[in-house]
Structure 1
Amino acid sequence: MADGRSDRLTVGVSILVEAGRIAWIRPSDGEEDPGPDDGLEVVDASGATFV
Protein backbone atom coordinates (compact mmCIF):
# COMPACT_ATOMS: atom_id res chain seq x y z
CA MET A 1 0.00 0.00 0.00
CA ALA A 2 1.31 3.45 -0.87
CA ASP A 3 0.15 5.91 1.77
CA GLY A 4 1.52 9.11 0.25
CA ARG A 5 3.64 9.87 3.31
CA SER A 6 6.37 7.27 3.22
CA ASP A 7 8.91 6.54 0.51
CA ARG A 8 8.30 2.81 1.09
CA LEU A 9 5.32 0.56 0.46
CA THR A 10 3.46 -0.88 3.45
CA VAL A 11 2.91 -4.64 3.12
CA GLY A 12 0.85 -7.16 5.10
CA VAL A 13 -2.25 -5.06 5.69
CA SER A 14 -5.97 -5.74 5.65
CA ILE A 15 -8.35 -3.09 4.36
CA LEU A 16 -12.06 -3.00 5.22
CA VAL A 17 -14.27 -1.17 2.73
CA GLU A 18 -17.82 -0.23 3.79
CA ALA A 19 -20.25 1.60 1.53
CA GLY A 20 -17.49 2.29 -0.99
CA ARG A 21 -15.16 3.94 1.55
CA ILE A 22 -12.17 2.66 3.48
CA ALA A 23 -13.35 2.01 7.06
CA TRP A 24 -9.98 0.87 8.43
CA ILE A 25 -6.51 -0.33 7.53
CA ARG A 26 -4.55 -2.51 9.93
CA PRO A 27 -1.79 -5.14 9.97
CA SER A 28 -3.07 -8.53 8.91
CA ASP A 29 -0.69 -10.51 11.16
CA GLY A 30 -2.58 -13.04 13.23
CA GLU A 31 -5.92 -11.98 11.84
CA GLU A 32 -8.53 -14.69 11.42
CA ASP A 33 -9.82 -15.23 7.91
CA PRO A 34 -13.37 -13.92 7.63
CA GLY A 35 -15.80 -16.01 5.69
CA PRO A 36 -19.21 -15.82 4.08
CA ASP A 37 -20.80 -16.40 7.51
CA ASP A 38 -19.49 -12.96 8.50
CA GLY A 39 -21.30 -11.39 5.54
CA LEU A 40 -18.02 -10.26 3.99
CA GLU A 41 -16.60 -10.68 0.53
CA VAL A 42 -12.90 -11.46 0.79
CA VAL A 43 -10.69 -10.31 -2.06
CA ASP A 44 -7.14 -11.62 -2.21
CA ALA A 45 -5.22 -8.64 -3.57
CA SER A 46 -1.79 -10.20 -3.13
CA GLY A 47 0.58 -8.58 -5.57
CA ALA A 48 -1.61 -5.50 -5.96
CA THR A 49 -0.69 -1.98 -4.91
CA PHE A 50 -3.25 0.31 -3.26
CA VAL A 51 -2.73 4.05 -3.42
Structure 2
Amino acid sequence: MISDMGYFFKLFQKECLIGILFTAQKIQISFTNVVAMENAEFGITANSILPGPTRSIS
Protein backbone atom coordinates (compact mmCIF):
# COMPACT_ATOMS: atom_id res chain seq x y z
CA MET A 1 0.00 0.00 0.00
CA ILE A 2 2.80 2.39 0.88
CA SER A 3 4.67 1.63 -2.35
CA ASP A 4 1.46 2.16 -4.34
CA MET A 5 0.99 5.56 -2.74
CA GLY A 6 4.61 6.43 -3.46
CA TYR A 7 4.13 5.51 -7.13
CA PHE A 8 0.93 7.53 -7.29
CA PHE A 9 2.68 10.53 -5.75
CA LYS A 10 5.63 10.33 -8.13
CA LEU A 11 3.29 9.96 -11.09
CA PHE A 12 1.50 13.23 -10.38
CA GLN A 13 4.24 15.08 -8.50
CA LYS A 14 5.44 17.25 -11.37
CA GLU A 15 1.95 18.08 -12.63
CA CYS A 16 0.56 18.98 -9.21
CA LEU A 17 3.58 20.54 -7.52
CA ILE A 18 2.84 24.11 -8.60
CA GLY A 19 -0.84 23.80 -7.72
CA ILE A 20 -0.07 22.23 -4.35
CA LEU A 21 2.44 24.93 -3.46
CA PHE A 22 0.07 27.70 -4.55
CA THR A 23 -2.81 26.24 -2.55
CA ALA A 24 -0.59 25.65 0.48
CA GLN A 25 0.58 29.26 0.31
CA LYS A 26 -3.01 30.55 0.32
CA ILE A 27 -3.88 28.23 3.22
CA GLN A 28 -0.78 29.35 5.12
CA ILE A 29 -1.68 33.03 4.65
CA SER A 30 -5.27 32.58 5.85
CA PHE A 31 -4.15 30.32 8.71
CA THR A 32 -1.56 32.89 9.81
CA ASN A 33 -4.21 35.62 9.82
CA VAL A 34 -6.55 33.50 11.97
CA VAL A 35 -3.78 32.62 14.42
CA ALA A 36 -2.69 36.26 14.66
CA MET A 37 -6.24 37.37 15.49
CA GLU A 38 -6.69 34.59 18.05
CA ASN A 39 -3.32 35.35 19.65
CA ALA A 40 -4.21 39.04 19.88
CA GLU A 41 -7.52 38.25 21.59
CA PHE A 42 -5.91 35.68 23.88
CA GLY A 43 -3.11 38.12 24.72
CA ILE A 44 -5.66 40.69 25.92
CA THR A 45 -7.45 38.07 28.02
CA ALA A 46 -4.22 36.65 29.43
CA ASN A 47 -2.88 40.10 30.31
CA SER A 48 -6.03 40.96 32.24
CA ILE A 49 -6.25 37.61 34.10
CA LEU A 50 -2.81 36.07 34.54
CA PRO A 51 0.26 37.60 36.18
CA GLY A 52 3.46 38.00 34.16
CA PRO A 53 5.41 34.89 35.31
CA THR A 54 2.45 32.57 34.66
CA ARG A 55 2.02 33.98 31.17
CA SER A 56 5.66 33.46 30.25
CA ILE A 57 5.54 29.79 31.31
CA SER A 58 2.67 28.98 28.98
More helix per residue: 1 or 2?
Answer: 2
Pick the structure with more strand per residue: 1
TM-score of the pair, normalised by structure 1: 0.24
Task: Give the number of the structure with larger relative contact order, counting CA–CA contacts within 8 Å between residues 6 or more apart.
Answer: 1
